[in-house]
């Protein structure tokens, strides 16, 4: 991948939480930032405006990554504004309702898998066709958003979510090996308990306080701490790292 500035980074689900933190960190690092959002136009606009106010360039694009046509349109919009991306961060995701496997519905499974798995695959497809030296590209970096739940299992809460992130891990390892000679590195970040609004939106506002004692570091992480690892994976400092799943979980 060319180190000449400016470079372009796409982060899906960039209107809030970890995605917003990644977008802001990328802007500070000198990337031109394209961030997608599904419904929170105001949040995405605020992130893009903050990047621009700091002297950067940002583009907010409405896109539901579970819809193939939206993913295609997202990458087309980035092509038009900035050219092909140098970095893709597959951050958009959903957890579905809290509950045991015996209570899961087909609709919940379809929704969670469509966003977390299908969306990641589609975005990877579009990125590879632009980045791969096999297709005339200049190389690039893909960072997928996994979760410690993929290994821990999410018992009693989010086994469906954990399973979807297990699929993201398999995508990461397989794609990394597939494109390793084509100038593309593919890695994943696996956050643990992170202090974002996700828990309250899922109906468990006390979840962080309840589970914090089980974390060896005795505290939840921050979105910025996850963003720091994403930016390391996007940088030349990790040039010999591919196919890795990096835990950001305080030892959990």
For residue 215, what are the contacts with CB-CB under 8 A and spacing of at least 6? 192, 193, 249, 250, 251, 252
Determine what percent of the chain is predicted with pLDDT higher than 70.
97
Given a contact cutoff of 8 angstroms between Cβ atoms, the answer to whether 13 and 93 are in contact is yes
Whether residue 11 is predicted with pLDDT greater than 50 in this model: the reply is yes
Q: What is the pLDDT of residue 3?
A: 47
Local confidence band at 6 (pLDDT 50, 70, 90 cut-offs)? confident
Given a contact cutoff of 8 angstroms between Cβ atoms, the answer to whether 65 and 123 are in contact is yes
Q: Over the stretch 108-128, which tens digit does the pLDDT of each residue have?
A: 999 999 999 999 999 999 999
Mean pLDDT, rounded, for 164-177: 98
Please indicate, yes or no, if residue 80 is contained in any of the structural domains. Answer: yes
CA angle 23, 142, 36 (to 5 degrees): 40
Which range has the worst mean pLDDT, 115-119, 130-134, 202-206?
A: 202-206
| CA–CA dist 249, 252 (Å, integer) | 5
Whether residue 147 is predicted with pLDDT greater than 80 in this model: the reply is yes
Domain extent, residue 25, equals 8-248
Q: What is the pLDDT of residue 5?
A: 57
Please spell the DSSP secondary structure of 194-248, one letter per residue: B-STHHHHTT-TTHHHHHGGGSTTSS-B-HHHHHHHHHHHTSGGGTT--S-EEEE
Q: What is the pLDDT of residue 197?
A: 74
Q: Which residue has the higher pLDDT, 197 or 28?
A: 28
Whether residue 25 is predicted with pLDDT greater than 60 in this model: the reply is yes
Local confidence band at 2 (pLDDT 50, 70, 90 cut-offs)? very low
Given a contact cutoff of 8 angstroms between Cβ atoms, the answer to whether 92 and 18 are in contact is no
Given a contact cutoff of 8 angstroms between Cβ atoms, the answer to whether 175 and 123 are in contact is no
Please indicate, yes or no, if residue 2 is contained in any of the structural domains. Answer: no
What positions carry a catalytic annotation?
Answer: 161
Average pLDDT, the chain: 95
Whether residue 1 is predicted with pLDDT greater than 50 in this model: the reply is no
Q: What is the pLDDT of residue 228?
A: 98
Whether residue 58 is predicted with pLDDT greater than 70 in this model: the reply is yes
Provide the number of structural domains found in the chain. 1
Whether residue 67 is predicted with pLDDT greater than 70 in this model: the reply is yes
CATH number at residue 78: 3.40.50.720
Rg of the chain taking only CA atoms, in angstroms? 17
Please indicate, yes or no, if residue 90 is contained in any of the structural domains. Answer: yes
Q: What is the pLDDT of residue 108?
A: 95
Please indicate, yes or no, if residue 1 is contained in any of the structural domains. Answer: no
For residue 205, what are the contacts with CB-CB under 8 A and spacing of at least 6? 199
Please indicate, yes or no, if residue 113 is contained in any of the structural domains. Answer: yes
Please indicate, yes or no, if residue 3 is contained in any of the structural domains. Answer: no
């Amino acid at each position: 991948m060319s180190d000449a500035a400016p470079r372009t980074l796409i982060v899906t689900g960039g209107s809030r939480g970890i995605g917003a933190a990644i977008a802001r960190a990328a802007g500070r690092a000198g990337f031109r930032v394209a961030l997608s959002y599904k419904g929170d136009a105001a949040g995405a606009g605020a992130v893009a405006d903050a990047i621009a106010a700091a002297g950067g360039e940002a583009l907010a694009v409405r896109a539901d990554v579970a819809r193939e046509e939206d993913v295609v349109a997202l990458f087309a919009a980035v092509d038009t504004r900035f050219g092909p991306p140098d970095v893709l961060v597959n951050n958009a995701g959903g957890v579905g309702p809290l509950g045991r496997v015996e209570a899961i519905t087909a609709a919940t499974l379809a929704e969670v898998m469509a966003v977390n798995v299908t969306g990641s695959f589609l975005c990877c497809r579009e990125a590879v066709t632009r980045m791969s030296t096999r297709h005339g590209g200049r190389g690039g970096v893909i960072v997928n958003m996994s979760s410690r739940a993929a290994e821990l299992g999410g018992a009693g809460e989010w086994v469906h979510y954990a399973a979807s992130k297990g699929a993201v891990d398999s995508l990461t390892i397989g794609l990394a090996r597939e494109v390793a000679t084509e100038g593309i590195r593919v890695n994943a970040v696996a956050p643990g308990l992170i202090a974002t609004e996700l828990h309250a939106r899922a109906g468990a506002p006390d979840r962080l306080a309840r589970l914090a004692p089980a974390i060896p570091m005795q505290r939840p992480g921050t979105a910025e701490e996850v963003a720091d690892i994403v930016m390391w994976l996007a940088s030349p400092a990790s040039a010999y790292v591919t196919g890795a799943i990096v835990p950001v979980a305080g030892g959990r």
